[in-house]
């Protein structure tokens, strides 16, 4: 974790006769990184000049340089650049440049995504060099920038996230738990993501076969924290740990949520809705398992309408078979909730029009078989809706799929919840471009 990684084929790792740039004795990587950071700090003093000075290119170069550095080297650069904002002279141009140089170096380190970079950020937080929302900004990007999240990397991240210094810091304590759960899914739960993102065929498996930390340490910690939050009535932490467990996409979370969803344990309607919405990642990682749970929620007439609409929204990600869609369509003819009927109608009708996209032809045909079974009544736009669409660009082998869902409010024309999802397929590489949800209690 403290040593510089060895990653073939990246620019700064093969720049000197196939070796890392640090193999060149004429290059002092610490000095060079300091110079680039200071150049960025000087350039951002005049924002209008940033495009012409290629400041963003300099930031990319700085990030790549940090990727080749050990934790000790990163710490050396930090000692040269660090300045406490509280002690800086607001009227001093020199202090202003140094502050921006330190900001650039901090964020470049977070974007480096290596083990030494994580150790450096952990060290800065422990020493109080970065705190609260500033620290949260750094850890928020780690799940997306991690180059090779091995079991040691995950272990260090977990120890960082659960340290007493972190759990008491506002903003950071929530952000880092959400980030940890995301990287846990990407590195240890989602097999497809591991193969696509981290090159396990080149570097080997990220986690050893004997490592049981996921089942024996990480998930139990999140489960216990959720239980404790419910016992204390801490609504903010309840939301955080529901999202964190949902982020892992591990099937085990269903047993954790089950007593709350079935009413065996007390939870507010909004908290139960959040549990259903948090199953989004599971629909991508374990679609068959998620489909069974979501369908059971949807078809239960005694369940709250908003939970049923949310379950329907997520069902679209599981490629439901024709028989299931037909049963869903038939149910609209005796369904009591107008919100559920409206969401179901828009869901099946819009899905039936997605047959121009090869990726969704089967889903579209399944929906087409159910369209004529829908309740013909018309409901306005203030009711719950679930719209799906797709767009294909044939000449470059590219396609897009989008889903926009809303849960109607009972006392307003504005929806109480909105879910937006945008996916792309670039020549067979399927990835999420945008996913956002907004929910109001």
Task: Please check the confidence at residue 199 and state whether its pLDDT lies above 80.
Answer: no
Three-state secondary structure call for residue 438: strand
Per-residue model confidence as pLDDT tens digits over 268-287: 999 999 999 999 999 999 99
Which residues contact residue 213 at a Cβ distance below 8 angstroms, ignoring those fewer than 6 apart? Answer: 151, 154, 155, 158
Give percent of the chain with pLDDT exceeding 70: 98
Helices in 68-150 by DSSP H: which ranges? 71-81, 93-112, 115-127, 132-140, 142-145
- Quick one: pLDDT at residue 15? 65
Give percent of the chain with pLDDT exceeding 90: 71
The span from the CA of 310 to the CA of 300, in Å, is 13
Neighbours of 390 (CB within 10 A): 24
Q: Which residue in the block uniquely carries the two structure tokens 């060290």?
A: 123
Is the CB of residue 293 less than 8 Å from the CB of residue 286?
Answer: no
Q: CA angle, 172 as apex, 168 and 176 as ends, to 5°?
A: 110
The span from the CA of 253 to the CA of 272, in Å, is 14
- The mean pLDDT value for 101-129 works out to 95
**Strand pairing of 417-426 and 398-407?**
antiparallel
More confident residue, 8 or 177: 177
Average pLDDT of every residue of the chain: 91
Per-residue model confidence as pLDDT tens digits over 284-317: 999 999 999 999 999 999 999 999 999 999 999 9
Is the CB of residue 301 less than 8 Å from the CB of residue 336?
Answer: yes
CA distances from 24 to 7, 14, 21, 114, 197 (A): 17, 11, 6, 21, 30
Domains and CATH numbers, the chain: 323-440 (2.20.50)
- Quick one: pLDDT at residue 84? 85
Neighbours of 422 (CB within 10 A): 14
- The mean pLDDT value for 353-357 works out to 88
The torsion angle over the Cα atoms of residues 135, 141, 142 and 144, rounded to 10 degrees, is 170
What's the gap between Cα 61 and its chain centre? 26
- Quick one: pLDDT at residue 9? 67
- Quick one: pLDDT at residue 8? 66
The span from the CA of 61 to the CA of 76, in Å, is 18
Task: Please check the confidence at residue 17 and state whether its pLDDT lies above 70.
Answer: no
The span from the CA of 181 to the CA of 197, in Å, is 17
Per-residue model confidence as pLDDT tens digits over 383-434: 999 999 998 887 888 899 999 999 998 888 889 999 999 999 888 878 888 8
Tokens for 138, please give them.
């750094």
The span from the CA of 174 to the CA of 422, in Å, is 26
Counting every residue written for the chain, the total comes to 441
- Quick one: pLDDT at residue 303? 94
Tokens for 439, please give them.
């929910």
């Amino acid at each position: 974790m403290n040593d510089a990684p060895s990653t073939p084929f990246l620019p700064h790792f093969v720049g000197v006769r196939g070796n890392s740039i640090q193999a060149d004795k004429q290059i002092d990587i610490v000095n060079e990184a300091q110079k680039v950071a200071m150049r960025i700090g000087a350039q951002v003093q005049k924002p209008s000049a940033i495009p012409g000075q290629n400041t963003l290119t300099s930031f990319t170069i700085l990030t790549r340089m940090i990727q080749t550095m050990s934790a000790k080297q990163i710490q050396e650069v930090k000692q040269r650049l660090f300045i406490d904002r509280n002690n800086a002279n607001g009227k001093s141009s020199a202090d202003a440049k140094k502050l921006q140089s330190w900001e650039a170096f901090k964020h470049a380190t977070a974007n480096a995504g290596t083990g030494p970079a994580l150790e450096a950020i952990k060290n800065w937080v422990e020493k109080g060099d970065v705190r609260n929302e500033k620290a949260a900004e750094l850890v928020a990007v780690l799940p997306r920038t991690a180059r090779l999240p091995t079991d040691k990397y995950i272990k260090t991240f977990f120890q960082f996230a659960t340290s007493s210094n972190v759990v008491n810091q506002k903003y950071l304590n929530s952000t880092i738990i959400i980030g940890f759960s995301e990287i846990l899914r990407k590195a240890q739960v989602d097999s497809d993501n591991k193969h696509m993102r981290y090159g396990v065929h080149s570097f080997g498996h990220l986690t050893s076969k004997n490592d049981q930390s996921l089942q024996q340490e990480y998930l139990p910690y999140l489960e216990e924290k959720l239980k404790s939050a419910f016992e204390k009535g801490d609504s903010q932490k309840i939301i955080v740990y529901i999202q964190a467990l949902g982020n892992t996409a591990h099937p085990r979370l269903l047993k954790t949520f089950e007593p709350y969803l079935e009413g065996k344990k007390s939870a507010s309607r909004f908290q139960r809705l959040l549990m259903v919405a948090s199953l989004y990642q599971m629909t991508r990682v374990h679609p068959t398992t998620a489909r069974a749970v979501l369908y059971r929620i949807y078809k239960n007439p005694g369940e709250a309408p908003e939970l049923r609409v949310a379950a329907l929204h997520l069902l679209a990600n599981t490629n439901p078979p024709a028989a299931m869609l037909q049963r869903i369509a038939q149910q609209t003819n005796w369904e009591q909730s107008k919100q559920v009927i409206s969401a179901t109608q828009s869901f099946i009708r819009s899905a039936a029009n997605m047959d121009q996209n090869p990726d969704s032809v089967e889903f579209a045909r399944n929906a087409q078989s159910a369209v004529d079974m829908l309740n013909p009544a018309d409901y306005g736009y203030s009711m719950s809706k679930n719209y799906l669409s797709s767009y294909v660009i044939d000449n470059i082998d590219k396609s897009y799929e989008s889903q926009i869902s809303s849960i109607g409010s009972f006392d307003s024309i504005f929806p109480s919840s909105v879910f937006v999802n945008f996916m792309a397929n670039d020549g067979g590489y399927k990835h999420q471009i945008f996913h956002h949800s907004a929910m109001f209690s």
